[in-house]
Structure 1
Amino acid sequence: MIFEAIALFMLAVPGGWLLDRPMEIMGALSLMFGVLAMSWNFLYNWLFDLWDRRYRGMSKRRFAIRAVHAILFEAGLVIAGLFLIAWWLDMTFWDAFLLDVSLSAFFLVYAFCYNWAYDMVFPMRPLAG
């Protein structure tokens, strides 16, 4: 929830201004995108952790694994977000794609930094076995 709240604050006002859209429209899109992102985040990280336990044995997540994690997360979110943006803002798919990729570039860096900081504060512990 903290991740999404910070992101909404950083994007809602500038997004409305840059796209010349009413704040109500951008605010609603931000909320819908937040729900989409939270749902995808839950599903993706659950699946990623299952994979990590099975194939890497829950070893320490270093820079490379976090980079792959962030890129794959954003790829899935771009696909889902494209349709939401095109529909809600009544844009062509190309314009929606460009906006979605721009948002994804922001979130790629933001998610990487946020998750890396999370790993430093709450490191993974080995499973008892």
Structure 2
Amino acid sequence: MQGKARKIVQAILYETIAVLCVAPVLSWAFDAGMAHSTVLSLILSAVALAWNMFYNWAFEYWEARQAQRQRTLWRRFLHALGFEGGLVLILLPVVAGWLQISLWAALLTNLALFVFFFGYAFVFQWAFDRVFDVPDSAREPA
């Protein structure tokens, strides 16, 4: 699977699994109720979905122009770090506003989510590439 179809399937699958993991944890951690936490998870997911589409497009654009195009462990690490680090900053005001907590508390919350999602992004992307193969941008030119 390549192109837009790959990006759409990848992003939707990633975010669906993320909502299923995050909503119950937010509900428990903030005693906010499952409905409130699920709505927040869906908002976070929608923002993350847009970020995912943009970030992966930009990453693959960059990747396709590299002399070494193979997805090494280091490249996967940088991919996950860039994606999750950018997302932490983007979501900071959303989390603070929705949970009615300080920016500092929101940062700590986002960093806790970052720890989970950093590993999740790495494992998910590896598994996705194993199931659907790597994108053309990660293939050596013939």
Whether the TM-score (by the shorter chain) exceeds 0.5 is yes
CA distance in structure 2 between the aligned counterparts of 1:78 and 1:16, rounded to whole angstroms: 19
Normalised to the residue count of structure 2, the TM-score between the two structures is 0.83
* Residue 99, structure 1, aligned to residue 109, structure 2: yes
* Residue 8, structure 1, aligned to residue 22, structure 2: no
2:92 is aligned to 82
On the 8 A contact 2:23/2:37 being kept in 1, the answer is: yes
Q: Which runs of 4+ in 1 moved over 6 A?
A: none
CA distance in structure 2 between the aligned counterparts of 1:46 and 1:16, rounded to whole angstroms: 33
CA distance in structure 2 between the aligned counterparts of 1:28 and 1:12, rounded to whole angstroms: 8
**Residue pairs, 1:39-58, within 5 angstroms:** 39-56=50-67
Could you say which structure has the greater relative contact order, defined with CA pairs below 8 angstroms and 6 or more residues apart? 2
Two-structure CA RMSD over aligned residues (Å): 1.7
On the 8 A contact 1:33/1:81 being kept in 2, the answer is: yes
Count of residues paired in the alignment: 128
CA distance in structure 1 between the aligned counterparts of 2:53 and 2:104, rounded to whole angstroms: 28
> Residue 116 of structure 1: CA displacement?
1.0
Q: Give structure 2 stretches of 5+ with no counterpart.
A: 1-11
Identity of aligned residues (%): 35
Q: Give structure 1 stretches of 5+ with no counterpart.
A: none
Question: AA paired with 1:98?
Answer: L
On the 8 A contact 2:92/2:103 being kept in 1, the answer is: yes
2:45 is aligned to 34
Normalised to the residue count of structure 1, the TM-score between the two structures is 0.91
